[in-house]
A and B are shown apart, each in its own frame.
Chain A
Amino acid sequence: MNTATNTVDDHEIAKFQAMAAEWWDPNGKFKPLHMLNPCRLDYITSQIAAEFGRDLTADAPFAGLRILDIGCGGGLLAEPMARLGADVVGADAAERNIPVAQVHAEESGLTIDYRHTTAEAMAAAGEQFDVVLNMEVVEHVADPQAYLTACQQLLKPGGLHICSTINRNPKSFAMAIVGAEYVMRWLPKGTHEWNKFITPNELFSLIERAGLTPVDRKGFVFNPITWSWSLSDRDLSVNYVTAATKP
Chain B
Amino acid sequence: MTHDTDILIVGGGLNGPTLALALAQVGLRSIVLDALPADVRQADGFDGRSYALALSSTRMLDALGLWGKLAANAQPMLQIKASDGRAGEGPSPWFLHFDHAEIEEGPMGHMLEDRYLRQTLLTAMSETPLVRHLPGSRVIAQGTGTVTLEDGRTLRARLVVGADGRASGTAARAGIKRTGWDYGQTALVCAIRHEKPHGGIAHQFFMPAGPLAILPLPGDRCSIVWSETHDMAAQIMAMSDADYLDVLRPRFGDFLGQISLAGQRYCYPLSLSIANAFVAPRLALVGDAAHGVHPIAGQGLNMGLRDVAALAEVLTDAKRRGEDFAASDVLARYQSWRRFDTAALAVATDTFNKLFSNDNPLLRAGRDIGMGIVGAMPGLRRGFIRQAAGLTGDLPRLLQGRAL
Tell me if A137 counts as interface (CB < 8 A to partner B). no
**Which of B27, B321, B323, B328 is packed against the most chain A CB atoms within 10 Å?**
B321
Interface set, chain B 322-365, CB cutoff 8 A to A:
322-324, 327-329, 332
Asked if B329 and A45 make an inter-chain contact with CB atoms under 8 angstroms apart, the answer reads no
Selected contact of B329 from candidates A34, A108, A109, CB within 8 Å: A34
Flag A22-55 by CB within 8 Å of B: 1 or 0 each. 0000100000001001100110010000000000
- Chain B: CB-nearest residue to A227: B336
Tell me if B26 counts as interface (CB < 8 A to partner A). yes
Q: What is the bound-complex CA distance between A42 and B322, given in angstroms?
A: 10
Question: Which residues from chain B contact A42 at a C-beta distance below 8 Å?
Answer: 321
Asked if B329 and A26 make an inter-chain contact with CB atoms under 8 angstroms apart, the answer reads yes
Tell me if A83 counts as interface (CB < 8 A to partner B). yes
Tell me if B153 counts as interface (CB < 8 A to partner A). no
Asked if B321 and A45 make an inter-chain contact with CB atoms under 8 angstroms apart, the answer reads yes
Asked if B323 and A57 make an inter-chain contact with CB atoms under 8 angstroms apart, the answer reads no
Asked if B321 and A41 make an inter-chain contact with CB atoms under 8 angstroms apart, the answer reads yes
Tell me if B40 counts as interface (CB < 8 A to partner A). no
Q: What is the bound-complex CA distance between A26 and B328, given in angstroms?
A: 8
- Chain A: CB-nearest residue to B26: A57
- Chain A: CB-nearest residue to B320: A56
- Chain B: CB-nearest residue to A34: B329
Contacts A57-B26, A109-B1: A41 and B322 contacting too (C-beta < 8 A)? yes
Asked if A45 and B323 make an inter-chain contact with CB atoms under 8 angstroms apart, the answer reads no
CB distance from B287 to the nearest CB of A (A): 25
- Chain A: CB-nearest residue to B325: A83
CB distance from B16 to the nearest CB of A (A): 24
CB distance from A225 to the nearest CB of B (A): 12
Interface set, chain B 273-320, CB cutoff 8 A to A:
317-318, 320
- Chain B: CB-nearest residue to A80: B322
CB distance from B314 to the nearest CB of A (A): 10
Interface set, chain B 116-153, CB cutoff 8 A to A:
none
Question: Which residues from chain B contact A38 at a C-beta distance below 8 Å?
Answer: 317-318, 321, 323
Contacts A57-B26, A59-B27: A41 and B323 contacting too (C-beta < 8 A)? yes
Question: Which residues from chain B contact A82 at a C-beta distance below 8 Å?
Answer: 322
Asked if A26 and B327 make an inter-chain contact with CB atoms under 8 angstroms apart, the answer reads yes
- Chain A: CB-nearest residue to B332: A26
Contacts A26-B328, A26-B332: A80 and B1 contacting too (C-beta < 8 A)? no
Tell me if A79 counts as interface (CB < 8 A to partner B). yes
Flag B1-23 by CB within 8 Å of A: 1 or 0 each. 10000000000000000000000
Q: What is the bound-complex CA distance between A80 and B321, given in angstroms?
A: 7
CB distance from B188 to the nearest CB of A (A): 43
Question: Which residues from chain B contact A57 at a C-beta distance below 8 Å?
Answer: 26, 320
Q: What is the bound-complex CA distance between A57 and B316, given in angstroms?
A: 9
Tell me if A81 counts as interface (CB < 8 A to partner B). yes
Tell me if A84 counts as interface (CB < 8 A to partner B). yes
Q: What is the bound-complex CA distance between A45 and B332, given in angstroms?
A: 22
Question: Which residues from chain B contact A37 at a C-beta distance below 8 Å?
Answer: 323
CB distance from B332 to the nearest CB of A (A): 7
Question: Which residues from chain A contact B332 at a C-beta distance below 8 Å?
Answer: 26
**Which of A26, A57, A84, A108 is packed against the most chain B CB atoms within 10 Å?**
A57
Question: Which residues from chain B contact A56 at a C-beta distance below 8 Å?
Answer: 320
Provide a sorted-by-A list of 26 A–B residue pairs whose CB atoms are within 8 angstroms: A26-B327, A26-B328, A26-B329, A26-B332, A34-B329, A37-B323, A38-B318, A38-B321, A41-B321, A41-B322, A42-B321, A45-B320, A45-B321, A45-B322, A56-B320, A57-B26, A57-B320, A59-B27, A79-B322, A79-B324, A80-B321, A80-B322, A80-B323, A82-B322, A83-B322, A108-B324
Q: Contact residues of A with B, CB < 8 Å?
A: 26, 34, 37-38, 41-42, 45, 56-57, 59, 79-84, 108-109
For the A-B complex with A26-B332, A83-B323 known, give 10 more contacts whose Cβ atoms are closer than 8 Å: A26-B328, A34-B329, A38-B318, A41-B321, A42-B321, A45-B321, A57-B26, A79-B322, A79-B324, A84-B322
Q: Contact residues of B with A, CB < 8 Å?
A: 1, 26-27, 317-318, 320-324, 327-329, 332
The 8 closest A-B pairs by CB, nearest first: A80-B322, A26-B329, A41-B321, A84-B322, A83-B322, A56-B320, A59-B27, A34-B329
